[in-house]
Structures are given as structure tokens and as C-alpha cells.
């Protein structure tokens, strides 16, 4: 566990922010590029939706399995060392994924994604907390939203670049062409390795870790698990991540349907970037909007709009259906950082353990897409999207709960302030 402080040196703070930007960028690029493996495997291997969506199951389930050991590791060795470790593991996962593409082996692809997501688990827990050390705590929600905006730049670039490789040559005949198809992951391995080296060189930037006894951390973890606020926030995060991943993954297949726009694979894959572009624009705008609005109320409003858009896209056809589903990306813009900031408890150790629980909630990206794929195999893809639509209802309910809680606290503060003012007036009158 590291000293809870902001770097006093402005140069160190800027360097830390730049490194965080790199982490968020490459994380977004990989997440959206991996989503295009689903339509590729459906076309090449003839998989149904459920088996193809094992890609997202493998990629996100590690956050549930390894979040606890990774979280305790982070507390023991510190954030900078943990982020370096996670990046090295991710680089290995990208190399194994490239090899799996060469062999056209689904089990090896799934293994590579488990390795990749294990490294990502380090970043899911540490990166958000490290981002909080680059400025004042007052604007933590807005700052994290800004970094999520850089993550969105990566998610926009992912489909634009990866679709050309993964979906343009879906029947590779030579090992060279197969390697070319997986070139985005090989290039990512090089960039991630460079970031890992940079974090390794700066592993003492935040000071030496001060490990806390495991029994104390376990006791605090038990308290957090029983917290209604933490439980509600974790459920909201589970629902949000699951829905965002589901729509982002199945959107290319949705756009290829004859009932929508019947797009060619490469075009459908690249159009997915519009979904992530909406999230990018919304996050940069949301970083400013959240400074002026109640975060819970805004989250509730956006959740209701997203629910309506998914329902409309599912029940419509043609360009309107495609447009409504793509527009959901704009609604996703502020959800992750807002849920994260509203849920995270105060206190140094509690915040780290809370971040670990929220990282486990990313498993929604494993469960909800798989359930939607199973549903789609029986009733069709368009109707199956009604399942992730319900998840936005959960997010909206959580936002409304937080709005009412904030309003209640505000009312109590105003009432107490009024009592104190009347008491002071009475004392002055008697004096």
C-alpha cells in the first residue's frame, strides 16, 4: 500500500498523467479490437452467437477470478509496480493471441484472452486510483471522465484499424496472411511493452509501499461487501459493463442483418467506431458537465435514454434501428467514471479494496454478452437485445438512488445550518 498523497513535483505529476493516458488509450484500443474477433470467428469457423461470445467471456471473466489476489498484490507491492506487472502480462497475452490466430485455434484464442485480461485486472484496479493522484480530489470524477475520454479515443481507433485486418481477409490461405490479420495485436504488444518499461523505470515514483496486515484488509473487505452502497454500485457496474460490451460486440453483426443496413463485414466493423466515438465525445463533454450537475441525477437520466434507444433499435428496422443502437454509445459516456466515483468508499485501504470489488463487477462483460448470445440463437439477434436493455434500467435506478441520497444529505445540511443560525441569533439577542 502506498502513501496516499499527490506528487509534489509538477513534472512527476505530468509524467504520471501522460503514462496514464497511454494505459487508457491502449486499453480502449484492445477492448474494441477484441470485439471484432466475434464476427470473424462466426464467419471463419461457423460458430453460433453463444460460442463466438465465449471471446468476451474469456476476456472479462479473469476480472472476477483474479481480482482478489491481484488486489491484495497491489496493496502489498504498490500501484506503479503492479501496473508494470499488468502491462508485461498483457504484452504476453497479445503475443499468444497472435499465435492463436496463426493456428486458427479457438481454445488457444480463449487462453490468450484470459492471459490478456489477467494483466488488464491489474490496470482496472490501479489505473483509476493512480489517476486520482494527478490532481486535486475535488475534481476526481471529472478527471477520471477525461481519462476515460482518452480510453474512448482508443476504442474509436480499434474498429477503424482492426476491421481492415480482421474482417477484410476472412479466408486466409497462408500463414503470412493469418499473421497479417492479427497484426493489430502484435503492434499492441510492442506498445504495451514500451509502457511497461516506462512504469518499471518509475516504480518508486509514488514512494515505497507500506503493506497492511492481511487480516485487517480481510476485515475491511467483509465490511465493504456488507455495505449497501458498495453492493448497489457493484451491481450497477456489472450491468453497465455487460451492456456496453454486449452492444459493442454484436453491433457489427446487427449492422450486417438484412433487416437493418446489410453492411459488408469490414464496413460493419468500422461503423462500430461511431458507437465508441459517441462515448468519446460524451466523456469529454461530461468531464465539464459533471462539475455543474448532480452526478446521480445525470446518471439516472442517461440510463433512461439508453434504455429507450436500445428498445427502439431492437424493435425497428433499417437505418433508424442502426442509428439508435449506435447512439447508445453517447449514453455510455459518463456511466463508468460516475458509477466508480459514486461507489468508491473514503479511506486509503477501503478505496483500494472497493476498486477491487468494482473490478470484479467487470465480469458483467462476460456474463451478459454470453446470455444475450444464447438468447439470440433462439429468438434472433434484434429481439435478444432486449436483455441488455434491461441492464440500463438497473443503472438508471442506481443513479436515481444516489440522487435522492445526495438530496437527503443536502436537506439535512440545510436544516442543521438553519438551526445553528437560529441558535446563534437567539444567543445574540439575549446577549
Averaged pLDDT in 10-residue chunks for the chain of 431 residues: 44 72 88 90 87 91 78 72 88 92 86 91 73 55 68 88 81 56 89 89 63 62 73 91 93 92 90 87 70 81 93 92 92 84 72 75 90 93 93 92 71 44 42 47
The length of the chain in residues reads 431
User: Residue 207: its pLDDT value, please?
Assistant: 56
Contacts of 383 (CB under 8 A, 6+ apart): 314, 375, 376
Q: How many CB atoms lie within 10 A of CB 274?
A: 17
Torsion of CA 123, 125, 130, 136, to 10 degrees: 140
User: Residue 287: its pLDDT value, please?
Assistant: 64
Contacts of 31 (CB under 8 A, 6+ apart): 154, 155, 158
CB 233 within 8 A of CB 342: yes
Report how far residue 148's alpha carbon sits from residue 283's, in angstroms, rounded to the nearest whole number.
7
CB 206 within 8 A of CB 78: yes
Contacts of 224 (CB under 8 A, 6+ apart): 230, 345, 350, 353, 354, 357
User: Residue 409: its pLDDT value, please?
Assistant: 54
Its pTM surpasses 0.85: no
Fold of 10-201+229-425: Growth Hormone; Chain: A; (1.20.1250)
C-alpha distances out from residue 29 to 151, 187, 204, 276, 287, Å? 8, 11, 28, 10, 21
User: Residue 34: its pLDDT value, please?
Assistant: 92
User: Residue 124: its pLDDT value, please?
Assistant: 75
Amino acid at each position: 500500500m502506498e502513501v496516499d498523497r499527490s506528487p509534489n513535483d509538477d513534472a512527476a505529476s505530468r509524467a504520471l498523467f501522460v503514462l496514464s493516458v497511454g494505459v487508457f488509450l491502449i486499453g480502449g484500443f484492445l477492448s474494441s479490437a477484441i470485439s471484432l474477433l466475434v464476427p470473424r470467428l462466426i464467419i471463419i469457423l461457423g460458430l453460433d452467437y453463444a460460442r463466438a461470445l465465449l471471446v468476451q467471456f474469456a476476456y472479462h471473466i479473469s476480472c472476477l477470478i483474479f481480482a482478489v489476489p491481484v488486489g491484495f498484490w497491489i496493496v502489498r507491492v504498490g500501484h506503479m509496480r503492479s501496473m508494470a506487472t499488468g502491462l508485461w502480462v498483457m504484452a504476453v497475452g497479445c503475443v499468444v493471441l497472435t499465435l492463436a490466430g496463426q493456428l486458427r485455434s479457438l481454445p488457444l484464442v480463449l487462453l490468450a484472452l484470459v492471459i490478456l485480461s489477467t494483466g488488464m485486472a491489474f490496470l482496472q484496479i490501479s489505473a483509476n486510483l493512480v489517476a486520482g493522484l494527478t490532481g486535486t480530489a475535488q475534481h476526481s470524477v471529472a478527471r477520471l471522465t477525461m481519462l476515460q475520454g482518452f480510453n474512448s479515443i482508443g476504442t474509436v481507433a480499434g474498429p477503424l484499424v482492426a476491421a481492415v485486418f480482421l474482417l477484410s481477409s476472412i479466408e486466409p490461405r497462408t500463414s503470412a496472411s493469418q499473421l497479417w490479420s492479427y497484426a493489430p495485436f502484435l503492434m499492441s504488444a510492442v506498445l504495451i511493452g514500451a509502457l511497461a518499461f516506462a512504469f518499471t523505470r518509475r516504480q518508486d515514483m509514488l514512494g515505497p509501499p507500506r503493506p497492511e496486515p492481511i487480516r485487517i484488509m480481510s476485515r475491511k473487505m467483509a465490511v465493504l461487501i456488507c455495505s449497501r452502497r458498495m453492493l448497489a454500485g457493484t451491481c450497477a457496474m456489472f450491468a453497465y459493463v455487460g451492456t456496453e460490451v454486449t452492444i459493442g460486440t454484436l453491433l457489427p453483426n446487427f449492422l450486417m442483418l438484412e433487416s437493418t443496413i446489410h453492411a459488408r463485414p469490414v464496413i460493419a466493423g468500422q461503423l462500430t467506431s461511431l458507437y465508441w466515438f459517441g462515448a468519446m465525445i460524451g466523456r469529454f463533454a461530461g468531464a465539464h458537465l459533471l462539475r455543474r450537475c448532480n452526478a446521480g441525477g445525470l446518471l439516472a437520466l442517461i440510463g433512461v435514454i439508453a434504455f429507450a434507444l436500445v428498445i427502439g433499435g431492437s424493435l425497428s428496422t433499417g437505418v433508424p434501428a442502426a442509428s439508435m443502437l449506435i447512439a447508445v454509445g453517447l449514453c455510455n459516456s459518463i456511466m463508468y467514471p460516475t458509477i466508480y466515483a459514486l461507489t468508491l468508499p473514503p479511506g486509503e485501504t477501503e478505496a483500494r479494496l472497493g476498486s477491487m470489488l468494482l473490478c470484479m463487477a467487470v465480469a458483467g462483460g462476460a456474463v451478459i454478452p454470453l446470455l444475450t448470445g444464447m438468447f439470440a440463437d433462439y429468438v434472433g439477434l434484434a429481439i435478444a437485445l432486449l436483455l441488455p436493455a434491461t441492464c440500463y434500467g438497473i443503472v438508471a435506478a442506481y443513479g436515481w438512488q444516489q440522487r435522492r441520497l445526495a438530496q437527503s444529505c443536502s436537506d439535512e445540511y440545510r436544516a442543521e445550518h438553519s438551526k445553528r443560525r437560529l441558535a446563534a441569533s437567539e444567543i445574540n439577542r439575549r446577549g
